[in-house]
Structure 1
Amino acid sequence: MELSVVVPVYDEEDVLELFAARLRAALDPLGEPYEVVVVDDGSRDATPRLLEALRAGWPQLRVVRLRRNCGHQAALTAGLDRSRGAWVASIDADLQDPPELVPVMLTAARREGVDVVYGVRDDRTSDTWFKRRTAGLYYGLMRREAGADVPADAGDFRLLSRRVVDELAALPERHRVYRLLVPWLGHPSTVVAYRRDERAAGTSKYPLARMVRLGTDSLTSFSARPLRVATWCGVLGSLVCLLAMLTAVGAHLSGATVPGWASTFVAVLFVGAVQLLCLGLLGEYVGRLYAEAQHRPPYLVASDTADERRPTRPASWQR
């Protein structure tokens, strides 16, 4: 198998047939053996039925169905783990990333002798102002914390060699953010620029809450800086409290004290807010340690049309 294309889907009945038509039209002319691994992340609409109908006329289509909704990164993990190609591309089904670029990525990887090809969005005018601004802040922060190798405006549209896929599968961590993990491995890479289109149909499966969760996972996976922020907040709070104490003592010695609750109320609120912030940041890291210590798999496969009989994780995961 030369090429695998991994496609995580969740409630994509509105766009699935259009996506499949464009992807097949891009892959069939390659003249090379390929498979399309669609990971159904517990869809509740007509997506499973449409996938079965598409598979009847497309022998290269393979459907991996998860038992429940596990999230985009977990579904992507399932597809990467079960892919069989020498090259593995990942793409979403909403057609914001053009399927026609998959052969272009494959050609670029072979021509330049690299292991990773990133799809980089050089034109995001189809996104809202808010999304463009938050994306810019996210990539700027990630490049600062995780390293300059993180390409700006590169999402989960990429092509990986089998060597990279195997190394990713060997990593034991449960909370995965591939747009940071792949650059972290340090393999030679190149980029293919493209214009990001509007979603062809349906609604976004990445609302603000999931975007915030992705940002939190990204930061806590690759940086301990939030814990240092908590430490400095504690130091700042201590200095403010010390200044308030000195002011109170000076006012008492000069006889200028006036009974009141406002200053006390503000001081208590400030100290309480700093404490809650520090506890919250510490809790994020403790929660991640707890989740990793449980060693639960990030996904559970209900069925695979390839009917493979192999573990969903390499032996290094089954501790």
Structure 2
Amino acid sequence: MPSAPHPVLSVVVPMYDEAEVLPLFVERLRPVLDGLDEPYELVAVDDGSRDRTPVLLQAARRTWPQLRVLRLRANAGHQAAISAGLAAARGDWVVTLDADLQDPPEVIPEMIARARAEGVDVVYGVRTDRSSDTAFKRRTAHLFYATMRLMGATGAPDHAGDYRLMSRATVDAVNALPEDHRVLRLVVPALGFPSTTVGYARQERAAGTSKYPLATMVRLSLDSVTGFSRAPLKLATWFGLGGFLLAVALLGYALVAKLTGHTIAGWTSTVMIVAAFSALQLLCLGILGEYVGRIYTSLQRRPTYYVAHDSLTDERERHTLHP
């Protein structure tokens, strides 16, 4: 059996309990990729799904030879699943895309065309219309990007999520990074490779429920801040310095009041001062704890994901045993 041609394009799609939307996703994506008239592979990363996602993926492989299933042994999280897909992808160009169809796959040909025409390494999909998102989602997204810009942690365009096209050089650079808990929407811009953008209207989820609850969004934000900026550490330092200077001033004031016979009356004011300083100390300790936690996790060097099987490897082994 002749070997499949080397893929020009790899599409990496993390999936976790996406059985409801998966048939619609396949129906939308396959015509787009087949229409490129270039060798491609679809790397579906099953992130430890508990529903029928693995069964549906194996069923789709029977009629879609370009579909490659990379199953993780346990749920590792959205960013780790994308990292696993990037490590496995073989294409000269790699697109990362979610399965919920909020980011339309029909934009992929335009991304490839822009990358080739402008000679860039990265094409970011930018959500120019987010009217399908809730008001809370839009406000928190705006706050997230504004905060990251303020801290100088990213050069990513506003409202550019994880829908992007990357060159092989970019993917290799990302795979070579040693850091854990990487936030790819910040890692890729931090590389500084030439880039451009393609705008699109964000759509409603085609089926199923969101796998990004508030707790996950908060965790992602914390990883983004502590992973790409030392500003919180500097903030803790300035809080500590400011508190020290204020304490010295209060001490001087108390001594002067004592010497002049003007004692400070009031238990409430004392409690308020102690509480204020305690709050600042706890805040600073919390910020430092986030960084210490990242150092601790990094020193453990535990893999962020475990691959259970790769359908491409399984096929190669079968062809070796039964040529």
TM-score (norm 2): 0.91
- Give the structure 2 partner of residue 306 of structure 1: 312
Letter in 1 for 2:46: D
Please give the residue correspondences for 1:284-299 in structure 2 after superposition, counting only pairs within 5 Å. Answer: 284-299=290-305
Look up the SS of the partner of 1:57 in the other structure: coil
Letter in 2 for 1:132: R
In the alignment, is the contact (CA less than 8 A) between 1:117 and 1:191 conserved in 2? yes
- Give the structure 2 partner of residue 49 of structure 1: 55
- Give the structure 1 partner of residue 191 of structure 2: 185
In the alignment, is the contact (CA less than 8 A) between 1:6 and 1:36 conserved in 2? yes
- Is 1:25 the counterpart of 2:31? The answer is yes
Q: Write the deviation string for residues 42-83 of structure 1: whole angstroms up to 9, x where unpaired.
A: 111121111112122211111111111111110000000000
Q: Write the deviation string for residues 6-61 of structure 1: whole angstroms up to 9, x where unpaired.
A: 00011111111101110002111112111110101111112111111212221111
- Give the structure 2 partner of residue 275 of structure 1: 281
- Give the structure 1 partner of residue 4 of structure 2: none
- Give the structure 1 partner of residue 134 of structure 2: 128
In the alignment, is the contact (CA less than 8 A) between 2:61 and 2:68 conserved in 1? yes
Provide the rounded CA distance (Å) in 1 between the counterparts of 2:294 and 2:38. Answer: 42
What is the CA-CA distance between 1:88 and the residue it aligns to?
0.5
- Give the structure 1 partner of residue 269 of structure 2: 263
Letter in 2 for 1:94: D
In the alignment, is the contact (CA less than 8 A) between 1:142 and 1:150 conserved in 2? no
What is the CA-CA distance between 1:250 and the residue it aligns to?
4.1
Distance 1:241 1:111, change over 3 A: same
Q: 1:212 aligns with which of 214, 218, 235?
A: 218
In the alignment, is the contact (CA less than 8 A) between 2:14 and 2:44 conserved in 1? yes
Look up the SS of the partner of 2:42 in the other structure: strand
What is the CA-CA distance between 1:140 and the residue it aligns to?
2.0
Please give the residue correspondences for 1:1-16 in structure 2 after superposition, counting only pairs within 5 Å. Answer: 1-16=7-22
Q: 2:169 aligns with which of 149, 157, 163?
A: 163
Provide the rounded CA distance (Å) in 1 between the counterparts of 2:206 and 2:262. Answer: 69
Greater CA drift, 2-11 or 184-193: 184-193
In the alignment, is the contact (CA less than 8 A) between 2:154 and 2:186 conserved in 1? no
- Give the structure 2 partner of residue 69 of structure 1: 75
What is the CA-CA distance between 1:144 and the residue it aligns to?
3.6
What is the CA-CA distance between 1:212 and the residue it aligns to?
1.3
In the alignment, is the contact (CA less than 8 A) between 2:153 and 2:228 conserved in 1? no
What is the CA-CA distance between 1:252 and the residue it aligns to?
3.5
What is the CA-CA distance between 1:143 and the residue it aligns to?
2.8
Segments of 5+ residues of structure 1 without an aligned counterpart are: 310-319
What is the CA-CA distance between 1:166 and the residue it aligns to?
0.8
What is the CA-CA distance between 1:256 and the residue it aligns to?
4.6
Provide the rounded CA distance (Å) in 2 between the counterparts of 1:177 and 1:147. Answer: 11
Letter in 1 for 2:284: C
Letter in 2 for 1:269: A
In the alignment, is the contact (CA less than 8 A) between 1:146 and 1:180 conserved in 2? no
Segments of 5+ residues of structure 2 without an aligned counterpart are: 1-6, 316-323
- Give the structure 2 partner of residue 224 of structure 1: 230
* Aligned CA-pair RMSD: 1.9
In the alignment, is the contact (CA less than 8 A) between 1:90 and 1:156 conserved in 2? yes
- Give the structure 2 partner of residue 99 of structure 1: 105
Look up the SS of the partner of 2:105 in the other structure: coil
Provide the rounded CA distance (Å) in 1 between the counterparts of 2:42 and 2:230. Answer: 38
Distance 1:164 1:308, change over 3 A: farther
- Is 1:199 the counterpart of 2:189? The answer is no
What is the CA-CA distance between 1:175 and the residue it aligns to?
1.8
- Give the structure 1 partner of residue 117 of structure 2: 111
Provide the rounded CA distance (Å) in 2 between the counterparts of 1:15 and 1:308. Answer: 26
Look up the SS of the partner of 1:22 in the other structure: helix
In the alignment, is the contact (CA less than 8 A) between 2:126 and 2:161 conserved in 1? yes
Provide the rounded CA distance (Å) in 2 between the counterparts of 1:274 and 1:148. Answer: 27
Please give the residue correspondences for 1:224-243 in structure 2 after superposition, counting only pairs within 5 Å. Answer: 224-243=230-249
Letter in 2 for 1:151: P
What is the CA-CA distance between 1:245 and the residue it aligns to?
2.8
Provide the rounded CA distance (Å) in 1 between the counterparts of 2:15 and 2:291. Answer: 29
Provide the rounded CA distance (Å) in 2 between the counterparts of 1:86 and 1:111. Answer: 16
Provide the rounded CA distance (Å) in 2 between the counterparts of 1:247 and 1:258. Answer: 10
Letter in 2 for 1:114: V
- Give the structure 1 partner of residue 84 of structure 2: 78
Look up the SS of the partner of 2:43 in the other structure: strand
| Identity percentage of aligned residues | 61
Provide the rounded CA distance (Å) in 2 between the counterparts of 1:129 and 1:214. Answer: 19
What is the CA-CA distance between 1:267 and the residue it aligns to?
2.2
Provide the rounded CA distance (Å) in 2 between the counterparts of 1:253 and 1:25. Answer: 86
Provide the rounded CA distance (Å) in 1 between the counterparts of 2:268 and 2:292. Answer: 36
What is the CA-CA distance between 1:243 and the residue it aligns to?
3.5
Q: Write the deviation string for residues 135-187 of structure 1: whole angstroms up to 9, x where unpaired.
A: 11211222343466321110000001111111111111112111111111111
